[in-house]
Amino acid sequence: MAGSVPFAGLLGLLLVSALPGVLGDRPSPDLRAHPGGHAQVGPEATEPRRRSPPKDQREWARAGALPLGALYTAAVVAFVLYKCLQGKDEAAVLQEEEGKKESSQSEQQLAHLTQQLAQTEQHLNNLMAQLDPLFERPARASEYEASDHPPAVARQQAKQGCGRSRTSVEDLPREDPPGDEDPPGEQDPSGMKTEPGKEDSLKLEDLPTVEAPRDPQGSQNNDYRHNKGDDHSHWRYGGDPPWPQVSPACAGRFQSPVDIRPELAAFCRALQPPELLGFELPKLPELRLRNNGHTVQLTLPPGLEMALGPGREYRALQLHLHWGAAGRPGSEHTVDGHRFPAEIHVVHLSTAFAKVDEALGRPGGLAVLAAFLQEGPEENSAYEQLLSHLEEITEEDSETWVPGLDVSALLPSDLSRYFRYEGSLTTPPCAQGVIWTVFNQTVRLSAKQLHTLSGSLWGPDDSQLQLNFRARQPLNGRIIEASFLTGTESSPRTVEPVHLNSCLAAGDILALVFGLLFAVTSIAFLVQMRRQQRFRSGTKGNVSYHPAEVTETVA
């Protein structure tokens, strides 16, 4: 519409310029009166007398034509200047778009090179895993070497262009050695100390808080020890014997938990939010809540389905928690070396396997949803449905039955932002190949609820069940993926937007103004033309003819 404005302005200018000629003075013939009593008959005697236009109409035409013409001229000049300035803005916008395209192409090339580097490193990891038994490991390593496979997640996502080798063991010089456990009441290893009260300021990529009662979950698979068995009685947190003696897989290269460094995580666009189905359980049938001496575990019924993507479907088995003690945070995973007060795990079994034993040690056989619990000002009603029953299972190996609940209410409200890596179960048998999803959003519990969690249960040898978390394990070249942009390098740049909409709006306004002026001028022109026609037709009716009288004079 704005493109027709110059034409409308020029046309209006021509019309207004023509008004003086149309509305100006025009000659008005008149009947000539002959002096004396009698006039001579001639051709002029029959010419009609016409009235001249009123003086006020002529003055209005002269006075109105010049301002309208000047107004149109100024409007056209202003619009031409505006289009020139807008042309400069459009050129700047086009130049900026070209710069963005070049930058995008450079980023794609860099991502391609990074992908190639990641694949190369994966090949090196495979080679190292094959050479380790020959040079470094004792003879017993052959018992669990089969589980030391390169991470399936890294291999699969490297094919998708997601993996970038940015997080390695060299990046984490302060990690614990494999199999080293944190005894109850003992501080974290040197260089990784977590001060009391600092967990609320931890930096999980500027962790948002959740006011609603929701929290993520993820856990190792404890279905293999629903009952107190041999494995259960032969290991404990911070005690003898060392876990690799209980299960050789606990000394594997790809163990969990790990320290998450958001600024080093590799962004992967292919990661989609986990899909949950059937997590809203009715009150009946009731669920079994059990103190197994290591944690509190809620057994989940069949029908809770979870999908990590096409062809990667799982069913939920159980959920459990890990916590610390008074003034001591107890999450298993850490963020930049910091622990949270507690952590919840929901364990899932791949639908490709019928039993847990078949999935142990198989890449992607188990999947865990994990989230951090943090102190908040209000009570979490979803977690209260579990915590209110802890007084019924204070003793080791005791259990109770609780009404069904909405398990999805324990999850964070934002399931789209998370970290993904391949690790292991965090308790014996420490089977590897577990797909971990650690959510970026925390869940808040009141201080009273956290105190109830850490101070209500008792474990082996009549000891209070506290600090039930495993020490951090080295990444050993594994890649931690992120479903969102993290850190400084991969964070989106802030670019000032070009307000093209406002420019278009200004052009539309000018076009409307010019159009209205043209319409008003056209209407005025037509009205004046109509009046002029009426005036001309009126003069014809007022013509009077006076026949000449011939008088003969007798000499």
Q: Quick check: helix, strand or coil at residue 445?
A: strand
Is the Cβ–Cβ distance between 316 and 346 less than 8 Å? yes
d(C-alpha 218, C-alpha 262), whole Å: 19
Neighbours of 303 (CB within 10 A): 11
Q: In the Cβ-directed half-sphere of 43, how many Cα atoms lie within 13 Å?
A: 0
Is the Cβ–Cβ distance between 393 and 296 less than 8 Å? yes
DSSP character at residue 548: P
Beta-sheet strands, E only, within 158-228: none
User: Where do we find the tokens 């399931």?
Assistant: 415
* Pair type for strands 296-299 and 287-291: antiparallel
CA distances from 419 to 127, 184, 267, 273, 484 (A): 27, 28, 9, 11, 9
Q: Which two tokens stand for residue 488?
A: 């400084």
* Pair type for strands 266-267 and 342-350: unpaired
* Pair type for strands 481-482 and 312-323: unpaired
Is the Cβ–Cβ distance between 482 and 419 less than 8 Å? yes
Amino acid occupying residue 135: F
Residue 294 falls in the annotated catalytic set: yes
Kindly report the length of the chain. Answer: 555
Which one from 232, 294, 322, 348 is the annotated catalytic residue? Answer: 294
Triad 335, 339, 345: Cα angle to 5°: 85
Q: Which two tokens stand for residue 166?
A: 């940015």
Q: What share of the chain is helix, strand, coil (3-state, %, to 5)?
A: 40, 15, 45
List of long-range contacts for 91-94, beta carbons under 8 Å, 24+ apart: 92/498, 93/498, 93/500
Name the helix (H) or strand (E) containing 297: strand 296-299
Active site residues: 294
